[in-house]
Structure 1
Amino acid sequence: MVELIKVLATIVLFSNEKSRKTPFISGYRPLFNFPNAKTKISGSIKLMGTSSFSPGSKGDVEITFIKGMIDDNYFKSGIKFTFDEGRDTLGEGEIK
């Protein structure tokens, strides 16, 4: 059985020319970049207190990752990350 890691985080979805143009809903699965990690990791975002998340928004979310894809030390409070679709960084966040 696959083990999952769930974290609470505050994220910001950028609003610039290379950013996402439409809002996303719970279940959105971008790639996450953690400082010094050797690979990106996919995670599923669950929205809290809203039904969609628009460009320019900031808020708290729950993110679920598959355990073992990167070291568990990346999932501690205060760790910052970015997330993307392809080459364009769409937002940033910090684990609570």
Structure 2
Amino acid sequence: ERRDVERGQVIAKPGTITPHVRFRAETYVLTKEEGGRHTPFFSGYRPQFYFRTTDVTGVVKLPEGVEMVMPGDNVNLEVELITPVALEKGLRFAIREGGRTVGAGTVTEILE
């Protein structure tokens, strides 16, 4: 029934898509001029990740040897979401903070 489906849920054939909490992604962080952040972020940063029609908070882990990410940078991130979301390799997403988009990315690897 249509009323049984809520915003953010995915309708799929059983076994074709599974929820995950950890993934790697290639991301671009918007510059201040593009409407993004004014300052860098570090491991432990907790923005909202928007996938399809759902959003969930995630914790960012930067790659070995990367101390911070500056606005305008492209970076491979590892993300751990606070709740499982239906993800697959190649899925695009937005990174938002305080009601504005601060970055965008593509899932490159499912970890968990």
User: Do they fold alike, i.e. is TM over 0.5?
Assistant: yes
Question: Post-superposition shift, 1:67?
Answer: 3.4
Q: Deviations over 1:5-51 (max 9, x none)?
A: 210111110013321111000000001111133xx200000000311
Give the TM-score normalised by structure 1.
0.82
Write the mapping of 1:1-96 to structure 2, written as runs, cut at 5 A.
5-17=21-33, 18-37=35-54, 40-49=55-64, 50-68=66-84, 72-73=85-86, 75-96=87-108
Counterpart AA for 1:87? G
Give the TM-score normalised by structure 2.
0.71
Structure 1 spans left out of the alignment, 5+ residues: none
In structure 2, C-alpha distance between the alignment counterparts of 1:47 and 1:81, rounded to whole Å? 18
Counterpart AA for 2:81? F
Work out the percentage of aligned pairs sharing the same amino acid.
31
Secondary structure of residue in 2 paired with 1:67: strand
Count matched residues. 87
In structure 2, C-alpha distance between the alignment counterparts of 1:9 and 1:52, rounded to whole Å? 16
Answer whether contact 2:56 2:83 (CA < 8 A) is retained: no
In structure 1, C-alpha distance between the alignment counterparts of 2:50 and 2:21, rounded to whole Å? 16
Structure 2 spans left out of the alignment, 5+ residues: 1-19
Counterpart AA for 2:43? S
Counterpart AA for 2:107? I
Greater radius of gyration (CA): 2
**Which stretches of structure 1, 4 residues or more, deviate above 3 A after TM superposition?**
none
